[in-house]
Structure 1
């Protein structure tokens, strides 16, 4: 992980260390948060990189897509996971006609957004949405962990933080609208590649990215694309977010009454998979 925020001077911000000993930029007001993010967007844009955000309640030593978690660099296990994922996606696409109305390259990233484990990593193009995810905790239940709900994290001590990862993707337009592919990464902007009948990715300003590999295999750790990490106290993050309806669960995860694409996926009653996951039922 590169830290490109170490040599900048921003009011109400200073370098600190996360639990892994990695440098993070600790900010104490929303102006510092926005300025730090804007600094990387501006400077990395000159390097043909676009910067996106990922909100987390803690930091990790790796950035691994959900499909590859727990298997390490095992190529055989990786291939088996990808084959099972492709089978599951083919089943969904074959039963839901809506997928014939937008490009195939967006099918897997979109299904990741609704719960499947894939080779992609969720990012957002809105720093306040990233801050919301950093300030809320996901809880799952069910035999296949198909039931999901979120609860606001509550500061219990002065040592609880929220983190925003600033992740770089190659910014070259690959041809089809919504697809950006370079030498190191590929990224799908779901707001462009998918119709808004799938409301969730539009509500969240959602994009999906992954590192490119050789042949049918790709790296299982994408942390090389992290360009910096911003940290703030959880109490500050919650204060900055406030109680805006536009940053609530009802808006960021619209029920199927509003999100017709989500309703189509739920009505399909697709078989859950222990390794690939399922269409998550949010709010249960």
Structure 2
């Protein structure tokens, strides 16, 4: 992996015992920023590929979008996609807000607000990724729609780590496509900050994007892990210290309530029925 060739102060490339994978461990916030920026520059120059971030509390063996988790057959994948498309069509008919931005972004913005879709969330800010890696999500309700974010504790995880995945997505701009949309050979990428109106506040607060892998033939793959370009690891104690307790990196700021996020308010009132299959517009508690 390219990060194995990187040599910067206060960092080292080593095996992660929990997952068996090699990671780039950083001991200083400057090293974190430099490691994160290394592949952004390298892949942008050599591959016309953007590199974005995803924070995780542990390393998983796969990177599947929520719609495809637990799916093992093409028939099952087709059924999930059909159910989702039906739900989105109904939302479009019942809510005028979807007429104000490109149809290609409709599923993407619904992913960002809680539905299970074929897209996967990324962020373009390493500190936001670090925040997600330092918190666990707890859900309750028939579809897990009531969410609470709990900060991880070094007292409970004495030797805990956080992980930032560096994910590559094609970023060659096709001027025929809507703003913020990038369609490449391997992936589709949508920068929600440019693709949807700013009354949807959450994507701006999180520097949010979504991406998905294109299929070789008819169906897209279920697992997007091939787009992971590297993994940065930080000790949980260091990550929590670096983040601190500033208001800009809290649940209230990163998940603005519907009072501030008008797009979120519209979606909550859309009447979309929660289901285990497709999820729901999430209710985020402070």
TM-score bracket, normalised by the shorter chain, equals over 0.9
Take 1:270 and 1:62, find their aligned partners in 2: how far apart are those partners?
A: 29
Structure 1 residue 157: Cα displacement? 3.8
Match of 1:177 among 161, 179, 186: 179
Structure 1 residue 20: Cα displacement? 2.2
SS in 1 for 2:3: coil
Take 1:94 and 1:198, find their aligned partners in 2: how far apart are those partners?
A: 19
The match for 2:246 is 244
Structure 1 residue 215: Cα displacement? 4.8
Take 2:93 and 2:284, find their aligned partners in 1: how far apart are those partners?
A: 24
TM-score by length of 1: 0.97
Matches within 5 A, 1:248-259: 248-259=250-261
Take 2:50 and 2:197, find their aligned partners in 1: how far apart are those partners?
A: 23
Q: What do the CA deviations read for 1:174-227 (whole angstroms, capped 9, x no partner)?
A: 232100110000100000001110100111000000000145410011111000
The match for 2:141 is 142
Structure 1 residue 28: Cα displacement? 0.4
CA contact (8 A) 2:2 2:230 kept: yes
Take 2:158 and 2:257, find their aligned partners in 1: how far apart are those partners?
A: 35
Structure 1 residue 134: Cα displacement? 0.4
The match for 1:235 is 237
Take 1:70 and 1:278, find their aligned partners in 2: how far apart are those partners?
A: 18
Take 2:111 and 2:157, find their aligned partners in 1: how far apart are those partners?
A: 34
Take 1:114 and 1:157, find their aligned partners in 2: how far apart are those partners?
A: 30
C-alpha distance 150-157 of structure 1, shift in aligned 2 (>3 A): closer
CA contact (8 A) 2:142 2:274 kept: no
Paired residues, what number? 281
TM-score by length of 2: 0.96
Matches within 5 A, 1:1-284: 3-18=1-16, 19-46=18-45, 47-72=47-72, 74-155=73-154, 156-175=156-175, 176-283=178-285
Take 1:56 and 1:239, find their aligned partners in 2: how far apart are those partners?
A: 17
SS in 2 for 1:149: strand
CA contact (8 A) 2:160 2:236 kept: yes
**Structure 1: stretches of 5+ with no match in the other structure:** none
Q: What do the CA deviations read for 1:1-22 (whole angstroms, capped 9, x no partner)?
A: xx32011111110112222211
CA RMSD of aligned residues (A): 1.1
Structure 1 residue 269: Cα displacement? 2.3
Take 2:269 and 2:204, find their aligned partners in 1: how far apart are those partners?
A: 21
SS in 1 for 2:258: coil
Take 1:80 and 1:216, find their aligned partners in 2: how far apart are those partners?
A: 14
Q: What do the CA deviations read for 1:229-261 (whole angstroms, capped 9, x no partner)?
A: 000001110111111111110010000000000
